[in-house]
Amino acid sequence: MPLPTPGGRDAPVPPDDAGVSFIMPVLNEERYLRHAVASALAQDVPGPVEIVLALGPSTDDTTSIARDLADGDPRIVLVDNPDADIPVGLNLALAASRYPTVVRVDAHSELSPGYTRRALATLARTRAANVGGVMRADGRSPFQRAVARAYNSRAGLGGGAYHGGAVEGPAESAYLGVMRRAALDEVGGFDPSIRRGEDWELNLRLRRAGYRVWFDPALSVVYWPRESWTRLVRQFRATGAWRGELVRRYGRRNSLRFFAPPALVVAVVLSTAAGVWQTARRTRRRRSAVASILHLPVAAYAVLVAVAALGRGGGRGWRDRAWTATVLPSMHLSWGAGFLWGIARGARDTVDTSRLDGRNTPLP
């Protein structure tokens, strides 16, 4: 039997007033949970809504806040996610939800007004199985604002559509996503064996089943990045490791932009080794000049970081620009190191430990 043509199948379009289920995995989100839930329940939707929170074993006040919210609003449903894994939590929330359109929400995000209504219209117009928009990162502290600037720039995360694309059309993946339950059920929901990159993998299966995944730049979601350098590095190392795992599993289906950070790590290692060799040995000029070629990629990258930090996108004032110059290599090198680990050995049990500690990490 021939495989479905990618993008050739229409997803079902339920009635406008059939209802929407918001699903959200939650772990140690006491600072963000109320706003995230409020932004979902404030959506103007023609029909009933619910939001299902999959609660991991938080070490801060997240669980008590969630119970407080649920006690005050029958639209809020709580389910336990004892393993804390995001795809497992998403599947548990899916199983506990009722309506034919599913909106994924992150506790570190806030949906813009009109987001869901616009997404429903786009789903109906395009007959896509999943539609997503732009991630608009924002921050409250100098460090978090620097991370947000990196997220929002091509120099930071490599120019994926949902990091600033302007052209509507078919997409490789979707940030968070507004999805048709029938298509989700058909492909088996989220893969519980993939702890990071689960959205990309799900959208790959949707596309392989013939469905369309759609990008609509009129949709936007505010995202609040990690609040400290250590959390950021741990997050990006885990994300890189799981991307390496996805490359092991799916090979060429991964975009070439994913290979830039590991290439940078290799370039830094080679440049460092060449520098040590040049310093330790009195080499001939010709040999030294050949070795110096290994410094060029790192020098070019340093110029890129300097331009990003000193340009318009670098922020205001020396503190913002210094944080931007720190954040960019921290993201790229930790992601790239994680990728090399993941592609060499597999992600195995790699966990994003930036989510595991609660209130003990202060804002910078």
**pTM of the prediction?**
0.87
pLDDT of 155 = 78
What is the C-alpha to C-alpha distance for residues 217 and 228, in angstroms, rounded to an integer? 29
pLDDT of 362 = 38
pLDDT of 364 = 35
Give the number of C-alpha atoms closer than 13 A to the C-alpha of residue 67, restricted to the C-beta side: 7
Domain with CATH 3.90.550.10 in the chain: 20-227
Greater pLDDT, 355 or 125: 125
pLDDT category, 264, cuts 50, 70, 90?
Answer: very high
Question: Which of the residue ranges 38-47, 212-221, 230-239, 291-300 would you say has the lowest mean pLDDT?
Answer: 291-300
Instruction: For residue 218, give the H/E element and its range.
Output: strand 213-223
User: Percentage of the chain with pLDDT > 90?
Assistant: 65
Contacts of the segment 183-187: beta carbons below 8 A, 24+ positions apart: 183/11, 183/12, 183/129, 183/130, 183/209, 183/211, 184/94, 184/102, 184/129
Amino acid of residue 309: A
pLDDT category, 162, cuts 50, 70, 90?
Answer: low
Residue 9 has pLDDT above 50, yes or no: yes
Chain segment 20-68, per-residue pLDDT in tens: 999 999 999 998 999 999 999 999 998 999 999 999 999 999 999 999 9
What is the C-alpha to C-alpha distance for residues 97 and 91, in angstroms, rounded to an integer? 10
pLDDT of 286 = 57
User: Which among 177, 222, 189 has a CA at the least distance from the CA of 89?
Assistant: 189
Query: What does the mean pLDDT of the chain come to?
Result: 88
- Over range 196-211, report the average pLDDT: 94
- Over range 72-77, report the average pLDDT: 96
Superfamily of domain 20-227: Spore Coat Polysaccharide Biosynthesis Protein SpsA; Chain A (3.90.550.10)
